[in-house]
Amino acid sequence: MLSIGSTWFKRGSGKQFEIPTRWGSSGRINLIGTYSLHGTEEQLEVRELSGSCNGEQVMAYLDTLALQAAPDQMTVVVLDNAPFHKGAKLREKAAEWEKQGLYLRYLPPYAPMLNLIEEIWRKLKGIVMPRRCYNSVDELREAVLTGLKVLGARFI
Domain total in the chain:
1
CATH code at position 123: 3.30.420.10
How high is the pLDDT of residue 54? 92
Whether the model pTM is above 0.85 = no
Q: 4 in a domain, yes or no?
A: no
Domain of residue 60: give its range: 28-155
Amino acid occupying residue 77: V
Question: Is pLDDT above 80 for 16?
Answer: no
Residue 142 in any domain: the answer is yes
pLDDT tens, 118-143? 999 999 998 998 777 888 889 999 99
pLDDT category, 2, cuts 50, 70, 90? very low
Q: Return d(Cα 82, Cα 93) in angstroms, integer.
A: 17
Cβ distance 87 to 60 under 8 Å? no
pLDDT for 102: 92
Residue 141 lies in a domain: yes
Residue 118 lies in a domain: yes
Tens-place pLDDT, residues 37-79: 877 888 999 999 988 889 999 999 999 999 988 778 888 999 9
**Rg of the chain's alpha carbons, rounded to an integer?**
19
For 12-65, strand residue ranges (E) read: 30-38, 41-49
Within a domain: 16: no
Please give the single-letter amino acid code of residue 118.
E
pLDDT at position 93, please?
94
